[in-house]
Structure 1
Amino acid sequence: MREREDEWTGLMRSAMAGDDAAYHRLLRAITPVLRAAARRGLARAGQPPDQAEDIVQDILLAVHLKRHTWDANAPFAPWLFAVARNKLIDALRRRGRRVFVNIDDFAETLPEGPRAETAAPAEVEAQLKTLPARQREVLQSIAVESASIRDTARKFAMSEGAVRVALHRALASLTARLREQ
C-alpha cells in the first residue's frame, strides 16, 4: 500500500513537471482503485453500484482540473481520496436517498381493495383559501396546473427563487395546519 502511494506521488510530481507519460500512467493506476471505492460507497448508501463509472469520471475530471491545488510536498493519495470522497458525496446528494425496488417483486403483497381515501375537492379548496393569495396562486399553478417553476415565475412576474420560496411556505403552512387537525 505504501509503495503504491509513493509511486502515485512520484508520478504526480512528474506529471506536474510536464511529463505526460507519467500523468497517463498515474491515471491508469488510480482508475481501478477509484472504481472499487465508488462501488463500495454506492453500496453502503444503498445505491446501485452500476453508477460507479459516472462517479469515477467525475473524480478523474476533478483531479485533472484541480491538480494545481495538490501540494507537491505532501503525499498524493490523501488528496486524491479527499477529492473522491467529495465527488461521491456530491453524486449521492444529487440522487437523493432513493432506494430502487422492483414493484413486481411485491405485487402479491399489495392490497386489492379500494384506494385509500383522499381529501374531497371541497376540503382541498377550503385549505387552499387559508393561504395568502400569492402562495395560493403559486401552489395552484404548480401543483394543480402542473406548470413549471419558470412558467409560474413568468406568469406572476416573480423570480424563480421567489416562486420556490412561496411554494415552500405554502406547503409548510398546509402541512402544519393538517398536522394540527
Structure 2
Amino acid sequence: MRGRDDEWTDLMLSANAGDSVAYQRLLKAVTPVLRAGARRGLARAGQPIDQSEDIVQEILLAVHLKRHTWDPEAPFAPWLFAIARNKLIDALRRRGRRVFVNIDDFAETIPSEAAPETLPSGEIARHLEALPQRQREVLQSIAVDSASIKDTANRLSMSEGAVRVALHRGLAALAAKMRSV
C-alpha cells in the first residue's frame, strides 16, 4: 500500500515536470496537514490559532518559490515539513516569542542538508520583476520580508482578502513563468 509521502513525492515530481494538475492536487493534499501543524504549533506556543492561515500561506509560497530546490531523489514530505517548521518559527519570532517548535507538529523526519539551488536567485528576481506591481509587492512582502498577510495589507493599504488574491495570482503567474524556463 502506498503512503501519503509516496503520493506527495510522485505529485511533486510531476509538478516539477510541468504538470499543473498534479501541482494543484499536491497543494490541495498538503494544505490541511500544514494547517493542523500550524495550529498545533501556535497552541503550544500559547498563541491564538487564528493566525494559522497566514502561516499556511507563507509555507505554500515558500514551497512554490523554492520547489526547484527539492531533490527529486529524496522524499517530498521531509523537505515540506522543514519549510513548515521554519515558517512557524519565523511567525512566532515576529510575535516576539522565543519558543521551541516540536518538529513532530509537522513530520517525523527532516532532510539533513538543504538541496542546492538549481535556479539562480537573479533569475527568480527577473521573473518577479515581470509581475504586475501589486502582485510583486505582495510576494516581496510575504515571501522575502516574511510579513504576514495582515501586515502586508496594512502596509500596502489593501484588504487582507485583496492581499490573498494578489498572492495567489502572483504565484500562478510566477509558476507559469518558471515552467517556461
Q: TM-score scaled to structure 1, two decimals?
A: 0.53
Aligned to 1:55: 55
Long gaps (5+) in structure 1: 99-181
1:15-35 CA-partner distances (Å, limit 9, x unpaired): 000000000000000000000
**2:86 alignment partner in structure 1:** 86
- With over 3 angstroms needed to count, the CA separation of the structure-2 counterparts of 1:2 and 1:42, relative to structure 1, is farther
Matched residue SS, 2:3: helix
Q: Secondary structure at the match of 2:72?
A: coil
Distance 1:2-1:41 versus aligned 2 partners, 3 A rule: farther
* Aligned counterparts, 1:18-29, within 5 A: 18-29=18-29
What SS class does the counterpart of residue 91 from structure 1 fall into? helix
**Larger C-alpha radius of gyration, 1 or 2?**
1
Runs of 4+ in 1 over 6 A off after TM superposition: none
CA RMSD of aligned residues (A): 1.6
What residue number does 2:30 align with?
Answer: 30
Q: Which residue of 2 aligns with 1:162?
A: none
How far apart, CA to CA, are the structure 2 residues paired with 1:76 and 1:2? 14
- Superposed, which structure 2 residues align to 1:92-103 within 5 Å? 92-97=92-97
Deviation (angstroms), 1:97: 2.8
Q: How far did residue 80 of structure 1 move?
A: 0.1
The one-letter amino acid paired with 2:40 is: R
Task: Quickly say closer, same or farther: Cα 1:2–1:88, change in 2 above 3 A.
Answer: farther
d(CA) in 1 for partners of 2:17 and 2:9? 12
- Residues 1-181 of structure 1 aligned to structure 2 (within 5 Å): 3-97=3-97
| Cα distance in 2 between the residues matched to 1:62 and 1:10 | 19
Q: How far 1:96 sits from its partner (Å)? A: 1.1
Describe the superposition over 1:125-181 as per-residue Cα deviations: whole angstroms up to 9, x where unpaired: xxxxxxxxxxxxxxxxxxxxxxxxxxxxxxxxxxxxxxxxxxxxxxxxxxxxxxxxx
Q: 1:49-89: per-residue Cα shift (whole Å, max 9, x none)?
A: 11000000000000000001100000000000000000000
Which structure would you say has the larger RCO, counting Cα contacts within 8 Å and 6 or more residues apart? 2
Kindly tell me the number of residue pairs found equivalent between the two proteins: 98
SS in 2 for 1:60: helix
C-alpha separation in 1, matches of 2:96 and 2:49: 15
Distance 2:97 2:29 in 1: 32
Structure 2: 5+ residue stretches without partners: 99-181
